[in-house]
Structure formats: C-alpha cells, structure tokens
Structure 1
C-alpha cells in the first residue's frame, strides 16, 4: 500500500512536490487555501488552515502531514498531534521558524553566529539599540514577513512607530545590527526522524528588492572551510531543533570573513529550486523521503554549475505557457518551471534553470530565459 502524505498549503512548493511523489509511488494530497491554487492538481480539499476541524478532516487518513509554509497556528498543530497525526517538522521546531525573536533567542542559546539583536517594544528601546550600532539598524516584524515584507532599515528611533502602534500586548519587534556583507549564501540540509542528515552544496543567492532573484550552485569560491562551516551550522540547527524534512539556512558572508545566520525555513526553499534539475535528489523528493522517514537520496550535482533565476510576473507578459514554445526553440537546454499562477508585478510565477561546466554560459542562458518570459 502506498504512503499517503498530506501537504498543508497550495502554493508552488506543494506543486513541486507532486512529480517526485508520483515517481516514488506516493499518494500526495494538498489542503489548498483557495480554488485554482498553484498545487490544484493535487488539491483534495480547499479550506482554512487556521481552522482545526478543517485540518483534522484533511489529515484523517494520511501517514504524515507536512507544509508548503510555516504559518499554521500552534493550536492547530497541537490538535493534529493530539489526534495521533505524524507532523513533520514538529510544532516545536516550527515554532522557532514562525517567530523571528524566538529563532534569534534559540540560535543564540545554541552558541550559533547571528547578528547582534534585541527585542524592542517602543521607540525608546529602539533608540538605545541605534545608539549602540552607529545610528542604523534593521527592524523586522517577528511574524509573517517574507520576500522583503516586514523588514525595514531605520536610522531614527521613530522609524518603526507605525509598527510599534500595531503591536498587541506582549508582542515585540526584532531589531538587528545592519550587517556589512559581501554576499548572501544558503545551506540546505534534510533530516529524517531517525536522525540521518544529508546536505546539498552551499549556494549563493542574489537578492533584488528583498526578493531572491538568482541562485548559483555551488557558491563560487566556497570550497573548503567556508562550505564546511556553513554545513556544520545547518547540521547543528537541524539536530538541536529536531527538524524533520528540508531545512534551509540563509547566511551572510560578512566583510570581515564571518558567517552569520539570517533566516531559517523548515521546508523546501527558493534557494534550493536549482536541485530539481541540478542534483541527483531534488529538495522536494528529499523532503518527502525525510518526513516519511525513508532513506535519504544522494545530493551530488549532475554538472559543475547550476544557475536558477526566478521569473517575476507582470501584466504585459501573459502566461509562461504562451511563450514556452518560442523559448524551447531558442534555448532548448534551459529547464522551465511554471507555477500556474496569474502574473502580476513582482509575483513569482516560475523559475528557469541552466546547468553546465561553464558558469558564465549557464548564467547567460538562465538570465536570457527569464528575461524572455518577463518581456
């Protein structure tokens, strides 16, 4: 009998879990938020993931539940556990990913490298932090931010007054030093409940307007100590937090040669999309293996380089599908991944990947394909 896996959330991450589930002979089911979601081909129920009864009904006959995002409330996760459902990653692990202040506190307690930080509840506390950090800092909402949302550079104590005014009792904002960094890196690992961990190569991510634009695997000039330290950081987090499934650790490589943890994602992540075409085992197949506690796959690369570029939607471009035949003709070596979304400015509607032995050539082909779709 096939394993049955339930995915909460109907976005592109759930969509990209479908092909490996089919290849592994798994029955994959998706609880989507809306009709016509990106993962609609596997959506067996449409409903509100904030509602425990809806989620429990969806999870009734599955072997394990996993996630397209980290936003499922803790009381809903607790209801799943109380009902005997295997939840991966666990509510305890997800709690660290759901709240940036909790995450910073936990990583600090583990002795892992993070930017200097504080939890602040008013302009006075923010002003004290600014005075200690050359008058500038990064303020983040503790929950809900992504792709540059909920993140703000401030240079005055009143720079986050609107966010302070919106805080509920007991809530705080996260303030961090403004890190001087050379580049952003990401280290992905996968861990299964029995403790086996595998790692992919360290990658470089290039951000534009707070959104991941490109990923290069492996990160250029990263072999040796840099890659070893990044992998050890990710393995430590996965083990100490008991993460099951894919864990992506976003990192800053600072101008004074340090690695600092920026963000965590306990699910497949944009910086790992290259692995679909560039690795023996993609992050999506590996995630399914891990949450079902199946042996993990090899993470070696098919070619020396893999370059992934996101395709951002705009009203002038139409759908990716409409332009696909022409791209196939011009760039037959580029792999295209369409998320099945209506395009709008700044929205991730797909990605393209090029691989090869020459980094410049792979980068050129991937960028050319993305530009073709974006008009």
Structure 2
C-alpha cells in the first residue's frame, strides 16, 4: 500500500512513524527542499501544477494532503484520472473557502455564528450596526493561525481587503460574522472512511495565544455528557453531510449563552489532535492513514484520564530544539517531546510536548514546564 501526501510540512512528517508501523509506504510531494517531511520526500514540485501532481499520483495507491491549498482543477484532474483522493475535491472545497463552508454548514442546519457575505463597505457597516458595533471579518481563502481574521468596528479597518480580494468567484467578497462571546474554545476530531465508518475522539479544550493554538487538554474539562455528545454529533454530521474522508477537525465555540457553534474546519490531521500521538489508543495520524486506505478504524479511547499538549512556539533564539534535549529529558522524564525539524522563528510551531496522567494539574505543569525548556 502506497499513500501519497501532497505537502511537505509537519503533518506529513508526523505521518511517517504511523506509516512505518502499519507497513505503509509513504511518499511526499514537498513544495521545497528542506521542509519538515524532507526525510520522506521523494519528489519536490509545484502542487498547483497538474502534470507534476499527476506524475506523483501515478506512483501511489491513494492521495491525501497535509494542507488544503491544492487547487480544485488539480484535484478534479486527479479524480478524472482515476486516482483515489481523500478528502475529495467536493468536500475539500468547504475547507478551502470560508464562505462556502458557512453556506454548506448552514444548509446542513448546523450551529454557526450569524454571518453574511459582504461585497461593499456599506454592507459591512450595516452588519456591524446590527450586531452591537463589532464583528469578525475573514478573508475567504488562505487564512490560518489568526491570519486573515480581524475584529473590526468599522469597514475602514479592512479597506485594503476590499481592494485586494479577487479569487474564484469571490471578487470583492469577505465573510463577516457576529463577534461571539465564548467561555472557551473546543475542538472535536473525527475520522471517516470511504465506506462510511466514523470514529470520534474525546472532545478537547484548546487555548489560543495570538490566534495560534498554545495548549490542548483532552478530554475537555467539564464536558462529559450533553456537551460531548453535541460536539460529536455536529462533527459526524459535517463529515457525513460534506462527504469528508480522512480526519476532520471541527473547531468550536462554547458560548456564554450555552450554545456550541462551529468556528472552523480542517480536513486533515490537526494541531488539536496531536495529543492523540501519546494519549490515545489510535493517533490521528494512524487513523488518517487507515481512513484514506478504507481500513477499519482504530479505537479512540485515552491511555490515561488526562492528556495535555503544549506547543513549542518559536523555539530557542540560538541553536536547535535538540540542543535542549538533555535538560528536558532529565527534568521531565515522563513527557513526550516531538520535534518538527523546523528552524526556530518567532511565533512558529516548531514542536510540541505531551504529558499524560491521572491528575490534570500535574499533567498541565509537566507539559508547560517541559515546553518552557525550549523557549528563551
């Protein structure tokens, strides 16, 4: 079995151990030399070029991704050539375009913030006036980790976006949403195979710093019962309703008025699921490979009562993460360390650590303290 991964980033890198354990041959089409998954990259090429991608796909049994940016015409060319693609283009388009995502989720009757497609500053100002004087504006494509997202009080604050947005039929269009008052952010991961089987991990709580995920707690504290059931039902409904295959991450708001609203989608392994590498019976990376190969899915239970993942953001000012291993291993022998093979850079996710155990406070302390070893 040969799985081709388009994109040479950290997610492709973290699929490698799972592929080795399953006896799956993993091949990666990387965008450039020296990326995180360079250890498995047999080809470097332009993922927006149809012929390059088709040539890569001829060497594998199924194609999947570590990001959502492959153009629709390239995806459809793969499908037309008979290549199994998971997730397929009809599903992936909802992760590529936030306006389509909101339309699709609304059509499925799923809970989302109040939103609108806006094409003029006047429309944005009217929406802001109707929603308490503030709103969240998003560019439909390309935004992640807080990029392409602004909280605004007038259209003047995104004037340059109106001047520059012009992609795929969304010329001049932006997404505006109500500014949600939320208690916390949550994430629900599920996996779905082409034949229809679905498996869900426990609901997790995520902590964001500057628009970037900093910590994940699994399971989310105070989530057992109705909240966990609602989140799993929402994510499974999205996977089935949009035809997602592979791992799906659904980012959620738990609001101050007791709603659960869908914020974002990712149709691939996701930062909020990295805890599963050490904390779950089946990691999201193994599950993703099982799903795209249409193999029976693995169990999603936890090894311990709690798992806490803390991202290493930026890394040391000088040297590499490996230079700090001795200190981290000696001080925190129960914590697992994952290095993405990236050069340190302010704000960049260069690795993560995970602590598991029966006491949440202890797990949080160990994970934070170990991650701090790699920060200056």
1:313 corresponding residue in structure 2: 314
Q: Tell me what 1:126 maps to.
A: 124
SS of residue matched to 1:88: coil
Alignment pair present for 1:241 and 2:238: no
Which of the residues 70, 73, 76 maps onto 1:75? Answer: 73
Q: Secondary structure at the match of 2:194?
A: coil
User: Aligned residue for 2:15?
Assistant: 17
Length, aligned pairs only = 373
Corresponding residue to 2:111 among 110, 113, 135: 113
- What is the aligned partner in structure 2 of residue 283 from structure 1? 284
Rounded to whole Å, the distance in 2 between the matches of 1:143 and 1:313 is 25
**What is the CA deviation profile of residues 113-170 of structure 1, one whole-angstrom value per residue up to 9, with x for unaligned ones?**
0000001111111011011001100000000000000000000121211100112274
Distance 2:74 2:199 in 1: 30
Q: 1:138 aligns with which of 136, 139, 154?
A: 136
What pairs up with 1:45-60 in 2 under 5 angstroms? Answer: 45-60=43-58
Structure 1 residue 67: Cα displacement: 0.1
Partner of residue 257, structure 1: 258
With 309-318 and 155-164 compared, the bigger mean Cα shift is at 309-318
Deviation for aligned residue 1:364: 0.2
| TM value normalised by structure 2 | 0.98
Distance 1:246 1:325 in 2: 34
Structure 2 Cα separation of the partners of residues 170 and 328 of structure 1: 50
1:197 corresponds to 2:198? yes
CA displacement 1:291-350 (0-9 Å, x = unmatched) = 000000000100000000000125614211111122111111000000000001000000
Q: Distance in 2 between matches of 1:130 and 1:213?
A: 30
Change (3 A) 1:317 1:228: farther
Q: Secondary structure at the match of 1:367?
A: helix
Query: Any stretches of 5+ residues in structure 2 without a counterpart?
Result: none
TM-score w.r.t. length of structure 1: 0.98
Query: Secondary structure of 1:70's partner?
Result: coil
1:219-260: per-residue Cα shift (whole Å, max 9, x none)?
000000000000000000001111100000000000011100
* Distance in 1 between residues matched to 2:198 and 2:310, nearest whole Å: 27
Whether the 8 Å contact between 2:315 and 2:321 is mirrored in structure 1 is no
SS across alignment from 2:175:
strand
Contact 1:246 1:266 in 2 (8 A): yes
The equivalent residue for 1:325 is: 326
